[in-house]
Structure 1
């Protein structure tokens, strides 16, 4: 995968150099210094714009441009440093076979100086300056070739817009110098350098799923796994990824189609009752999947159960046309009568020890310690029964090891096959 990095505020702690350089410049000009936040706010912009934004109106940026460049380069040579963890990040990405590229608003001379000073030149296959182009989007358009999977990682709106212009996902580095209010347009947002690996792994997986299902004309993707395996989070993240590629999509949560409590608990054996009666699969088929398979589109409200009140009072609106990808996620999903409506099946693997650990974090604060016993005595036995009877992991088209949520792995449980696909059995 091609990973396109911004430099300032993403890999390099530019503020340490630019604040010092600006202060030296203002001392030489004998003018009142500006606040550090005004300097950091403008980091990432081209030098002319940077200087115009921080200089008082009576001083023209063209008059001090060369001197600022000298001061900035001096600071880079003497004091320039990376954000903590950057070298380890780059080493891991390269070791996994990714192609790393720099695309910065700085000049080629400046980029090369920073890379040389920090010792990271060797990690990048190419560097690009957007200085002579209209914007970063134009440069990235030239970088991409033959729809190669790619992602842009940066800390300013120009990075996010460049990715959007080229229909690829973006990762916003909130630890950088960009405007927080502008970075919400990014596909994903991270708080630390160490978060990048996990998101790159997910994006790589999302490209693989897309290439091997949607690109082959498949429209309905089922995402399954045991409780707490990360289905909902994974599905939402995949939905954002598809939107970044300008692929229209919608999500169906099977949890929205629970049966009322009296039906879920009907009979003497609560495990069998939940196993057979937890969800109203017929409603999902009659209201959504069936009409879609025949009419290719729906635009309607569906009345669903409110689990907290045990009343049918939740209206969910679906507007799905023939170009919409449907992502349906939930437990106990890959079995009839639903299975025949799923074009692609994706299974998230975690073991039951990890289920209990995640449940402790997710559910105990809300439901209390007694919920652990309920999991052990009811929900885990239900899901063991499902795994044994339907073997969803072995029969799924795509399997993802989600045991380590921050480091998902593709195809780890495909019975030794290198390809992520298994024939359904």
Structure 2
């Protein structure tokens, strides 16, 4: 089975907790704080493996979670950082945020890596909070939770040459006779439901990867038929072989077919219609093919190379393969469309500063929300009195207490932050 689009969940590892500890040594009666920091949680990293060709493995495992960092230790020892979780993906994988559609990474080269979900920072131990005023603090932070998100993986084949054309024009037969690939071949539309790849040996030391893609029909750019599944893979190819049934064996007009397919490519993405293209005038062994070929050449003009072939009898295949190989030698290694896709590159823009917190009322409960407030809550270890006092002091410095009073909160009212509830006191 060929799988080219999946949705998976990734989560970075949580940071380890900091530790509250003190020196316990002989002849050191007033040992200071000695609690170490927690280790950082592991990142989830996607790495390209050229040995993979589909996203099939993700059909059976859809959740990836990195390990947690170790907690801090006594004697000032820091917890170990967690190892990153490496997830192997095939070349040509585009990773998108499933909620926003933002492109996180475009992975094309063997060994290329991208951090998809970062691990949380480790919490600080009480060594970090010693001051002249409080030389022995009982304060330690919890580790930050790791990033978590749903991502969509989309595979775009990395083939040098793509076969385009209407269904049943002979694309699969052509792939089978010029390479070692064995695609399914049948005398009905949409025999090819998923892309097939084959390596074509030109015979003079050159070779290229040829992709037989599902047939296009009118409206493909809007997703009609197998449109989007097909056009996604066309984006990566450097050259297109437009296979046309020159005999018009199903009552089709070769010229109209050529125009319609190019129109679908253009409507899907403007630059696709400008991709280098050759025409494989197939089924030349059938009646009326010669007359149609002459008329077609007059209309298409001299700029588009037209190679009369018969995939069934292997007529003209050598000239076609040599012509395509020569064309590949003259064009860049990467398709120009990739440089034009702004979405391929992550652009970080400065965002306007968000409100530090917001307060709303739910019946008798005042709910405080805000990224900084909630992060402080998660990192505070409420087992220690000093940590609770530090949390209250920072909240007061942020203006939360004054804002609650302005909203009508009184002594004894319940305040909710995240999953925890507090009582407002002086």
Q: TM bucket by the smaller chain?
A: under 0.3
Greater Cα radius of gyration, structure 1 or 2: 2
Q: Would you tell me which structure has more strand in proportion to its own residues? A: 2
Q: Would you tell me which structure has more helix in proportion to its own residues? A: 1
**TM-score, reference length from structure 2:** 0.23
